[in-house]
């Protein structure tokens, strides 16, 4: 059989399970997953290699109407997902009725490439609801091929993957076959710390935070990491650190454990908090954190 390779982009509303699906395909915790919207800020490539195929998946932030500069940059990642895809995976969840953004919806319906519409979270519903959803989506997006899945319970995921391989174009591999992702190690450190912050702090705190890993030094038996947690205001710094440093300590301990699993090595992780006013609306700063093209 000829070698197949191509780009498969996952799009959809926030919280429908895009990152969970991506990780189900990859089999690693590549994308961070939480129950909060906007957990995924960047596009993330994940690569699944086989002897005669290479599937390059990209997970995107959920589609939203941008309210500030950071969100506009996030939506640029989504736009670019249309431009370089060979296959679109349009993910919806059971019970969902439409896409937050009409223009994106039109793009999906008029896509020149194969669209697989995946109805996710079917573990949460019953047969009646599923039949209803199948009918509705078939009418709304006639160009799509529809699958019912549960990314969380890994149900129907391998069928989707099989279909991806079938419709993937013939092509040599784009990346070395032993490569799992295009993101540097520091990116995973940042995302892991940000996940812990999303889990442990309330309200607007997580959305005002950016992580910058200043040092990543890999030795024979240990990796030494130093990361800055950037916040916008002095008060947020206090909240992140917590009483006698207890809150920050918890973030550090939990992130270190995950990173040790991910890298398979002992980790020394140092975290500190810095106030960096208005990083979310400053073009130059956004660029530095990898948001602008
Ligand atoms: P994203 O914003 O689209 O990337 O969504 P996430 O992958 O971050 O998932 C959002 C939430 O939905 C998390 O709490 C997931 O555990 C949950 N979730 C994802 N897939 C499923 C599924 O198939 N069934 C159920 N019940 N929950 C799911
Ligand atoms: K999410
Ligand atoms: Mg996500």
- Ordered by start, the domain boundaries in the chain are 4-167, 185-289
The residue-averaged pLDDT of 214-228 equals: 88
Measured between alpha carbons, how far is 18 from 11 in angstroms, rounded to an integer? 7
Give the closest ligand to the alpha carbon of residue 151: 1
**C-beta of 92 in contact with ligand 1 (< 6 A):** no
Tokens of 207: 């959305």
**C-beta of 285 in contact with ligand 1 (< 6 A):** no
**C-beta of 136 in contact with ligand 1 (< 6 A):** no
Q: Pick the atom of ligand 1 nearest to 23's CA.
A: 7
Share above pLDDT 90 across residues of the chain, in percent, rounded to a whole number: 42
- Is the confidence at residue 168, as pLDDT, over 50? yes
Measured between alpha carbons, how far is 209 from 7 in angstroms, rounded to an integer? 31
Question: What residue has token string 């506009």?
Answer: 72
Which of the pair, 232 or 251, is modelled with greater confidence? 251
The residue-averaged pLDDT of 3-32 equals: 82
Angle at 177 between CA 34 and CA 30, to 5 degrees: 5
231 DSSP assignment:
E
12 burial level (CB within 10 Å; 0-12, 13-18, 19+): buried
Q: What is the pLDDT of residue 243?
A: 94
**C-beta of 121 in contact with ligand 1 (< 6 A):** yes
Q: What is the mean pLDDT of the chain?
A: 83
12 vs 53, 81, 112, 147, CA distance in Å? 25, 11, 18, 15
Range in 54-63, 117-126, 205-214, 257-266 the model is least confident about: 54-63
Q: Give 274's pLDDT tier (boundaries 50, 70, 90).
A: very high
Start-to-end CA distance of the chain, whole Å, equals 37
Share above pLDDT 70 across residues of the chain, in percent, rounded to a whole number: 76
Question: Which positions make up the binding site for GTP?
Answer: 12-19, 59-63, 120-123
Question: What residue has token string 């223009």?
Answer: 103
- The preferred substitution site among 152, 156, 198, 199 for testing ligand 1, maximizing ligand atoms within 8 Å of CB, is 152
Its CATH class, for the domain covering 185-289, is alpha beta
Q: What is the pLDDT of residue 31?
A: 54
125 DSSP assignment:
S
61 DSSP assignment:
P
The residue-averaged pLDDT of 225-230 equals: 94
| Long-range interactions of 262-267: CB distance < 8 A, separation 24+ | 262/28, 262/29, 262/188, 262/192, 263/185, 263/223, 265/218, 265/221, 265/222, 265/223, 266/221, 266/222, 266/223, 267/222, 267/223, 267/225
- Is the confidence at residue 179, as pLDDT, over 80? no
Measured between alpha carbons, how far is 19 from 55 in angstroms, rounded to an integer? 16
Range in 22-31, 73-82, 212-221 the model is least confident about: 73-82
Q: What is the CATH number of domain 4-167?
A: 3.40.50.300
């Amino acid at each position: 059989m000829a070698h197949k390779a191509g780009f498969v982009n996952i799009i959809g509303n926030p919280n429908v399970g895009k990152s969970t699906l991506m990780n189900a395909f990859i089999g690693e915790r590549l994308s961070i997953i939480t129950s909060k919207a906007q957990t995924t800020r960047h596009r993330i490539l994940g690569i699944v290699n086989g002897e005669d195929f290479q599937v390059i998946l990209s997970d995107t932030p959920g589609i939203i109407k941008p309210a500030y500069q950071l969100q506009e940059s996030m939506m640029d990642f989504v736009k670019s997902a249309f431009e370089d895809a060979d296959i679109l995976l349009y993910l919806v969840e059971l019970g969902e009725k439409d896409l937050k953004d009409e223009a994106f919806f039109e793009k999906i319906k008029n896509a020149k490439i194969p669209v697989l519409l995946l109805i996710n979270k079917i573990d949460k519903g019953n047969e009646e609801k599923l039949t209803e959803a199948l009918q509705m989506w078939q009418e709304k997006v006639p160009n799509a091929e529809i699958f019912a899945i549960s990314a969380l319970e890994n149900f129907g995921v391998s069928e989707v993957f099989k279909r991806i391989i079938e419709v993937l174009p013939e092509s040599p591999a784009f990346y070395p076959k032993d490569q799992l992702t295009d993101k540097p190690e520091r990116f995973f450190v940042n995302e892991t710390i940000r996940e812990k912050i999303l889990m442990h702090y309330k309200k607007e705190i997580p959305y005002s935070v950016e992580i910058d890993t200043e040092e990543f030094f890999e030795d024979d038996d240990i990796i030494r990491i130093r990361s800055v947690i950037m916040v916008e205001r002095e008060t947020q710094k206090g909240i992140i650190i917590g009483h006698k440093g207890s809150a920050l300590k918890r973030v550090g301990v939990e992130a270190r454990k995950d990173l040790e699993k991910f890298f398979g090595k002992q980790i020394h992780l140092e975290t500190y908090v810095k106030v960096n006013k208005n990083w979310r609306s400053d073009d130059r700063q956004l660029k530095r954190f990898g948001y602008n093209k």
